[in-house]
Amino acid sequence: MPGLGAARLALHLTIALLCAVILISVPISSVTVDTDGMIALLVIVAVLSLAMVCCRAFKWTALAMIFESWAVFVAAAFLAIILTFVAASTNRPMIDETLVRWDRALGFDWLTFVKAVDASPDMMVWLQHAYKSMSKQLLLLPIVLVFVNQAPRAYVMLTSFIVLTLAASIIFIWSPSVSPYHYWGLKPGDLTNLDPNWATWVERLREVRDAQTFLFSLEKADGIVTMPSVHAGAAVVCAWATWHVPGLKYVSVVWNFLMSISAIVIGCHYLIDILVGWAMAVFVIYAVLRLCKWYEQQVVDLGATEQAAAAR
């Protein structure tokens, strides 16, 4: 695990990269942002940032790191959603046929699976809670990790999540899909326990794809990435973050497995979306850790060079 300095630097550089991508991509897309409606969000980020500064001034280091994590997450989550709409606005052909072929090659029958899950009210309740827990985990886990002296892991977790959403948005440009619900022709009345909210985000996806100018606002901030699954990737990131927390790691693994499965039923994903999301998360975590270690080694080498020069 890298040190705190390298992990914090990685997080700050990653959020700066996300901001740069937004500033470059939005002006050349059909998406415009309702800046007037973003005041509440900016206030939240500003308040969290101010709280972080005050905590640092009073040397309340643990609280400062928590407020810093929250400020970065709130800003990054909002920017990432904008980026997904920019990616959707490229209006490339849907690839549902390809995704269905991949599921079949894996021996997975999506329609049978969803109907079997829908037949269990208790299972649907658990999956709905798991699906909605992604943001809660990314907000609450920094508290846990800071107070068990694993703050660098919290920073790496958030950095990995931001990189994951950035990569998913780029891949989504070439892999949009209309969702398996629409592909298989399901209607809201065909299911018993599943909340038929897939129609809402598909309408949003089609709206941004078809519009010559699409005005993005907080009211339209739906997750529309289909391939790969950000929920599945975030599940791996959260499970990894808690792996060395006694009494929590196995609960986290089971819960985040449920969150991944919920993305099939509630998040309107094919199985291949989940598997790609998992693989991406593993690669991103590894890459972030390696880059942090590389940076630390460069600092050590530079220090050794300066000491040798001073000794001459």
Lowest-pLDDT range, 124-138, 196-210, 245-259?
A: 196-210
| DSSP run (H or E) holding 152 | helix 151-173
Spatial neighbors of 215 by CB under 8 A, at least 6 apart, are: 32, 33, 34
How confident is the model at residue 225, as a pLDDT? 74
Number of domains in the chain: 1
> To the nearest whole number, what is the mean pLDDT of the chain?
84
Instruction: Provide the residue range defining the domain that includes 132.
Output: 4-311
Q: How confident is the model at residue 276 (pLDDT cuts 50, 70, 90)?
A: very high
pLDDT reading at 196 higher than 70:
no
CA separation for the pair 188, 8 (Å, rounded): 45
pLDDT single digits (tens) 150-190: 888 999 999 999 999 999 988 888 888 888 888 887 776 77
How confident is the model at residue 156, as a pLDDT? 92
CA separation for the pair 237, 256 (Å, rounded): 9
Report CA dihedral (133, 139, 144, 145) to the nearest 10 degrees.
110
pLDDT reading at 19 higher than 90:
no
Q: How confident is the model at residue 123 (pLDDT cuts 50, 70, 90)?
A: confident
pLDDT reading at 291 higher than 70:
yes
| DSSP run (H or E) holding 272 | helix 271-311
Mean pLDDT on 204-216: 78
Q: How confident is the model at residue 241 (pLDDT cuts 50, 70, 90)?
A: very high
Contacts 24+ apart (CB under 8 A), 152-155: 152/1, 152/2, 152/3, 152/4, 152/6, 152/7, 153/1, 153/7, 153/241, 153/244, 154/65, 154/69, 154/241, 155/4, 155/7, 155/8, 155/10, 155/11, 155/69
How confident is the model at residue 302, as a pLDDT? 63
CA separation for the pair 84, 110 (Å, rounded): 25
pLDDT reading at 280 higher than 90:
yes
My answer on whether omega of the bond before 176 falls inside 30° of 0, hence cis, is no
pLDDT single digits (tens) 62-108: 888 889 889 988 888 888 888 888 888 888 888 888 999 999 999 99
